[in-house]
Amino acid sequence: MMQRRTLLAASAAMLAAPRIGAAVTVGVTATELKIGNFMPYSGPASAYGVIGRGDAAYFKMINDQGGVGGRQINFITYDDGYSPPRAVEQTRRLVEQDRVALLFHTLGTPSNSAIVRYVNQRRVPHLFLATGADKWGNYQDTPWTIGWQPSYRTEAQIYAKWMLEQKPNAKVALLYQNDDFGKDYVTGVKDVLGARFDQMVTTASYEVTDPTIDSQVVSLRGTGADVLVTAATPKFAAQTIRKVHDIGWQPMHFLSNVSISIAAVMRPAGPERGVGIITSAYQKDITDPVWNDDRHMQAWREFMRKYLPEADMSDSGYATAYNVSFTLMQVLRQCEGDFSRENIMRQVANIHDLEVPLLLPGIKVSTSPTNFHPIRQMQLQKWSGAHWERFGDVIQGADV
Amino acid sequence: MDAGRDRIGTGIALPAAGAAERSAARPLRLLGLLGLVAVAAVLPPLFASSYQLFQLTLALIFAIAILGLNIVTGFNGQISLGHGAFYAVGAYATAIMMSHFDLPWWETLPVSALICAAFGFGIGFPALRLGGLYLALTTFSLAVAVPQILKYKGVEDWTGGVQGVFISKPDAPEGLGLDADQFLYLVVLAFAVAIFLLAHNLLHSRIGRAMRAIRDHSIAAEAMGMDIARIKTRTFALSAGITGLAGALSAIAIEFVAPDSFSVELSITLFVGLVVGGVGSIVGPLFGGVFAVFVPNLAESISRAAPGVIYGVILIFFLYLLPQGFAGFPQRIRALLRRRPEG
């Protein structure tokens, strides 16, 4: 009877209070804050598993320094094998069994797609996902989910903006992979060109299953384009660079920054063939000696030596982990001890010009209740024949 | 199989006693079975958390899928490494019917099973000409091809391409006082019980004996007047239909289908579940389903650095201890006990 009365009183209070007042705090005790994560430690994408190890090491460092808000961080990370059903299983385990306060840096577009509805129904903060899809910035439909890195769409906006400055009357050829990833680039270019898109741009797409993209490149050249935007994954990027050079086409060539690996793209394509190609960057290249005297880079190396002594120091996944974990710590500090899920989300949407150690100078993390794209700036860089050389100012994506 | 031979042996020696024993044992076994089902229906929803219920639901779904594989591989001797493809087709069929045609979930299940059975029937024909390892590779290529076909531009409007298709888990009918996870668990349990009973009856019938005869000695079976082509293709269709139904249930439980959900690894998982549970056993797939869901998590809790290695070690350990799978466990104990007095 007593129980029923308290229940009634509680539900009356819930109805009376404004929505924000009904704060839910889960996964937080006086001494501990639980953070959940899944990563592909096994399976086809297991190379990304280093990111989860980097995150874990970062939180260990934070705990050694005394934790956050007087609490130690308990970082729980599981293997999803890059499989959406297992991602659902692991997410439910984290949310229902381990009862984590929030989900952080979960990797992979398919895996995050599989859980996004569940976490938003349950109102679990789903923060700083490790995927570049643009849809994680959709604060209206999925207000509990937010990405981190510049989305592919933002990247394409930046190329289009700079291109318009250089060649206001360009004729653009756009080659894209026919999936979410490639289509984000088409959207980004459209954002900037608007009504002029149809008249300025010719598109061609390829399937991941296609053996080559030769015919697409040849037919795009036939349109007389003087700008080429290639939204391709590494294998097709290398093919494109090779073919463009071999048929003697010399457009202003923009290349998606998922395909700028020297080992996987530039060397197979032939380094001399790619001279002049333009792409973008937002993180400091940890292998570039330019940063040797940078105090943040030195701090990162110190961290790596202490917490991940056996790790490969040239794997940029560790730098990403460091940056993203740093951003989360800022959010948790801003919470000032109130780790209710509502307050966590309020602080997530309340980051102002945060400087993150391994982001390029001038690139800052900002969010607001109507901006769930934390990084919207990038700097362009050009292939010299041996390495990528950054040039010009930091460019901001278009406001759409 | 050994048990069957024993029964025939004792039957010949003591016909009257054997028959009486069997008819007395029957109602007891039925009661025992009913009791087990009742326990499975009542205990987990009462005591398990919704995450644990979800895991049990997945284990039951895998058990149904493995039963489908067991019918064709264990009882009919046709090795299939491609049942993940039927699972995927079943899942997609249900997802597409629910999202594009707004059909209620329960209406989609029989349709998905029928689609998969028809698909399996089609695969069953070339399978007639391919024996053993060649059939294994042909079905394997099916498992490799299906995720890519699902991404194909021509069917993208239906399958959603790499984006996949979202569907919603059904809510429990009002008045039952169950939440969605409890309801789904009971639904899957009901399907599992029905399908396992049907399979049990079928495999102990004339057709079931014919399936096994073809597996053990197809020439002798043919000489006895069995229509091998007919039985083999129909077995394949039945098997694909059951696995497809499991796929359809999985789509509802996960609420999402995408090509990456049905990689080649899925077919291998089903095959591993089949062998670990017990090839040619009816209860075996239940253990196989439990293995498929819980062992990867167990492996991961032991070592995050190399969960694959731990999984492999556990698998070898099982094969060494229980070469006939979990289903062979009682027989193995019995064999050990029998050997001791002699030795």
Of B148, B304, B308, the CB nearest to A209: B148
pLDDT confidence of residue B22: 53
CB atoms inside a 10 Å sphere around CB A294: 15
Residue B75 CA, distance from chain mean position? 13
Residue B161: pLDDT over 90: no
pLDDT confidence of residue A9: 47
Chain A: closest CA distance from residue B51 (Å): 6
Question: B23: pLDDT confidence band, cut at 50, 70 and 90?
Answer: low
Contact A41/B263, CB-based, under 8 Å?
no
Q: What is the pLDDT of residues A153-209, one digit of tens each?
A: 999 999 999 999 999 999 999 999 988 889 999 999 999 999 999 999 999 999 877
pLDDT confidence of residue A10: 47
**Long-range contacts, stretch B289-293, CB < 8 angstroms, 24+ apart:** B289/B58, B289/B59, B289/B60, B289/B61, B289/B62, B289/B63, B289/B64, B289/B65, B289/B66, B290/B59, B290/B63, B291/B318, B292/B59, B292/B62, B292/B66, B293/B55, B293/B58, B293/B59, B293/B62
First-to-last CA distance in chain B? 25
Distance CA A201, CA A171 (A): 6
Percentage above 90 pLDDT, chain B: 55
Name the token pair of B186.
């009971």
Q: Give the number of A-B residue pairs with CB atoms closer than 8 Å.
A: 82
Contact B260/A110, CB-based, under 8 Å?
yes
Of B148, B163, B296, the CB nearest to A113: B163
Contact B300/A208, CB-based, under 8 Å?
no
What global pTM score does this model have? 0.84
In terms of Cβ atoms closer than 10 Å to its own Cβ (0-12, 13-18, 19+), residue A303 is middle
Distance CA B259, CA B148 (A): 7
Domains and CATH numbers, chain A: 28-150+294-369 (3.40.50.2300), 152-281+380-396 (3.40.50.2300)
Q: Does the interface ipTM go beyond 0.90?
A: no
Name every chain B residue with its beta carbon within 8 A of the beta carbon of A44.
263
Q: What is the pLDDT of residues A83-137, one digit of tens each?
A: 899 999 999 999 999 999 999 999 988 899 999 999 999 999 999 999 989 999 9
Name every chain A residue with its beta carbon within 8 A of the beta carbon of B309.
none
The residue of chain A nearest to residue B302, with distances taken between CA atoms, is A78
Lowest-confidence pick of A126-135, B162-171, B247-256: B162-171
In terms of Cβ atoms closer than 10 Å to its own Cβ (0-12, 13-18, 19+), residue B274 is buried
Residues in B 274-313 with any Cβ partner in A closer than 8 A: 296-297, 300, 304-305, 307-308
Of A89, A96, A109, the CB nearest to B50: A96
Question: B340: pLDDT confidence band, cut at 50, 70 and 90?
Answer: low
Strand partners, A396: A377
Mean pLDDT score of chain A: 91
Q: What is the pLDDT of residues B47-102, one digit of tens each?
A: 888 899 999 999 999 999 999 999 999 999 999 999 999 999 999 999 999 999 99
Name the token pair of B160.
């959603």
Question: A270: pLDDT confidence band, cut at 50, 70 and 90?
Answer: very high
For residues B189-217, give the mean pLDDT: 93
Q: What is the pLDDT of residues A200-216, one digit of tens each?
A: 999 999 987 788 899 99
pLDDT confidence of residue B18: 45
Name every chain A residue with its beta carbon within 8 A of the beta carbon of B310.
none
Contact A113/B256, CB-based, under 8 Å?
yes
Name every chain A residue with its beta carbon within 8 A of the beta carbon of B166.
117
Question: B15: pLDDT confidence band, cut at 50, 70 and 90?
Answer: very low
CB atoms inside a 10 Å sphere around CB A230: 28
Of B51, B304, B305, the CB nearest to A92: B51
pLDDT confidence of residue A275: 95
Of B161, B254, B260, the CB nearest to A82: B260
* Residue of A37, A39, A42 to mutate, testing the B interface (most B Cβ within 10 Å of its Cβ): A42
pLDDT confidence of residue B21: 52
Contact A92/B50, CB-based, under 8 Å?
yes
The residue of chain B nearest to residue A133, with distances taken between CA atoms, is B163
Contact B166/A117, CB-based, under 8 Å?
yes
Mean pLDDT score of chain B: 87
3-state secondary structure of A341: helix
Residue B55 forms contact with A (CB below 8 Å): yes
Distance CA A122, CA A140 (A): 16
The residue of chain A nearest to residue B254, with distances taken between CA atoms, is A85
Contact B304/A178, CB-based, under 8 Å?
no
Contact A78/B250, CB-based, under 8 Å?
no
The residue of chain B nearest to residue A89, with distances taken between CA atoms, is B55
Question: B185: pLDDT confidence band, cut at 50, 70 and 90?
Answer: very high
Distance CA A176, CA A202 (A): 11
pLDDT confidence of residue B28: 82
Residue A366 CA, distance from chain mean position? 14
The residue of chain B nearest to residue A118, with distances taken between CA atoms, is B255
For residues B20-45, give the mean pLDDT: 80
Domain ranges (residues) in chain B = 48-263
Question: A22: pLDDT confidence band, cut at 50, 70 and 90?
Answer: low
Strand partners, A34: A74
pLDDT confidence of residue B328: 82
Residue B14: pLDDT over 80: no
* Residue of B49, B51, B54, B264 to mutate, testing the A interface (most A Cβ within 10 Å of its Cβ): B51
